[in-house]
């Protein structure tokens, strides 16, 4: 004589509804799109991918994104960091608005044939915009001044620019350009890159997401690829420091309120910077 299903469930202390439960399979496309985005942006973690999914209208819990992210084996492999010298950290003055202070630095890389290239990166400390990434074989002090002059004709002049003490930034050409246009040059102390933290942070993303991910075959290819990445960084990539908005969105929101505008040439720096 057989035992009924009800009797077995009673003996095991198991609910019959639990016994017959079948998980509902949802095919909302989240996992597929997550994998596609991770393939397009291989250096993005699950948090930033979650922001991108939400920006596309997929309202999904970040815990589910993390679960799908781990299940698909999408975790970003950490790059090995170089050993750095411990230096004193100085607080940076928070910029009052767009074009208050820019930060500037050089990033070096090489083409497929081994020839070196030099990238001048310029960042707006307030909006996090990549104001410019100029690419060339060589960029001297006059070249820096010419690049800034071209950018400022379109964007307006900053009140100040923070740089390290490289020869391109401490020579006569840049000093004369800054003096003629009312721009204050703020030099950090030698060997203390943390005093130029805004552009150092940007340079890390630039190298990790662009230079290390792109096989640059020629100087023209490098200029085109880096220009495309800069446009994507400004217009599509969410930035956690500005509420997961893109730099372009954040800048537009600041300018729309009417209280912040581009500074024309000849203006003065409103706040004294501690890195002087």
Query: Comparing 191 with 128, which gets the higher pLDDT?
Result: 128
> Residue 245 pairs with which residues in a beta bridge?
239
Q: Which two tokens stand for residue 87?
A: 């230096």
* pLDDT of res. 143: 96
Q: Which two tokens stand for residue 186?
A: 């703020």
Average pLDDT, the chain: 83
Determine the average pLDDT of the residues in 90-115: 85
Q: Which two tokens stand for residue 197?
A: 């933290």
pLDDT at 85 over 80: no
Domain 101-256 CATH (choose: 3.30.420.10, 3.40.50.1820, 3.40.50.300, 2.40.50.140): 3.30.420.10
* pLDDT of res. 91: 53
Least Cα distance to 226 among 132, 114, 122, 124 occurs for 132
pLDDT at 60 over 60: yes
> Lowest-confidence range among 27-31, 65-69, 189-193?
27-31
Confidence of residue 27 (pLDDT cuts 50, 70, 90): low
Which pairs with CB-CB distance under 8 Å and at least 24 residues apart come from 149-153?
149/177, 151/122, 152/181, 152/265
**Is this model's pTM higher than 0.75 or not?**
no
Q: Where in the chain is the domain with CATH 3.30.420.10?
A: 101-256
Phi and psi, residue 206, nearest 5°: -60, -45
With a pLDDT cut of 70, the percent of the chain lying above it is 84
The DSSP-derived string for 99-140 is TSEEEEEEEEEE-TTS-EEEEEEEEETTT--EEEEEEES---
* pLDDT of res. 136: 95
Helix (H) or strand (E) holding 75: none
The DSSP-derived string for 42-61 is TT--HHHHHHHHHHTT----
pLDDT at 224 over 90: yes
Determine the average pLDDT of the residues in 55-61: 86
Determine the average pLDDT of the residues in 189-207: 89
pLDDT at 231 over 80: yes
* pLDDT of res. 272: 37
What pairing do the DSSP bridges indicate for beta strands 184-187 and 116-124?
Answer: unpaired
* pLDDT of res. 275: 38
* pLDDT of res. 23: 61
């Amino acid at each position: 004589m057989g035992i009924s299903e009800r009797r077995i469930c009673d003996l095991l202390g198991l609910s019959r509804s639990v016994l017959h439960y079948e998980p509902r399979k949802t095919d909302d496309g989240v996992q597929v799109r997550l994998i596609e985005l991770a393939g397009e942006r291989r250096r993005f973690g699950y948090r930033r991918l979650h922001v991108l999914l939400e920006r596309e209208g997929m309202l999904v819990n970040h815990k589910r994104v993390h679960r799908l992210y781990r299940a698909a084996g999408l975790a970003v492999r950490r790059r090995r960091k170089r050993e750095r010298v411990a230096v004193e950290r100085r607080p940076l003055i928070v910029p009052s608005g767009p074009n208050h202070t820019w930060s500037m630095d050089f990033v070096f890389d090489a083409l497929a044939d081994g020839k070196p290239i030099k990238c001048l990166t310029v960042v707006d400390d307030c909006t996090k915009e990549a104001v410019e990434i100029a690419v060339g074989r060589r960029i001297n002090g006059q070249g820096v001044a010419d690049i800034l002059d071209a950018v400022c004709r379109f964007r307006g002049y900053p009140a100040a620019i923070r740089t390290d003490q490289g020869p391109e930034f401490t020579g006569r050409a840049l000093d004369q350009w800054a003096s003629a246009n009312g721009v204050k040059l703020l030099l950090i102390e030698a060997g203390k890159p943390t005093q130029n933290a805004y552009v150092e942070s940007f340079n890390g993303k630039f190298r990790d997401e662009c230079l290390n991910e792109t096989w640059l075959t020629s100087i023209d290819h490098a200029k085109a690829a880096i220009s495309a990445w800069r446009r994507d960084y400004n217009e599509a990539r969410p930035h956690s420091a500005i509420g997961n908005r893109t730099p372009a969105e954040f800048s537009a929101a600041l300018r729309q309120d009417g209280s912040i505008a581009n500074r024309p040439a000849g203006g003065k720096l409103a706040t004294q910077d501690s890195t002087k």
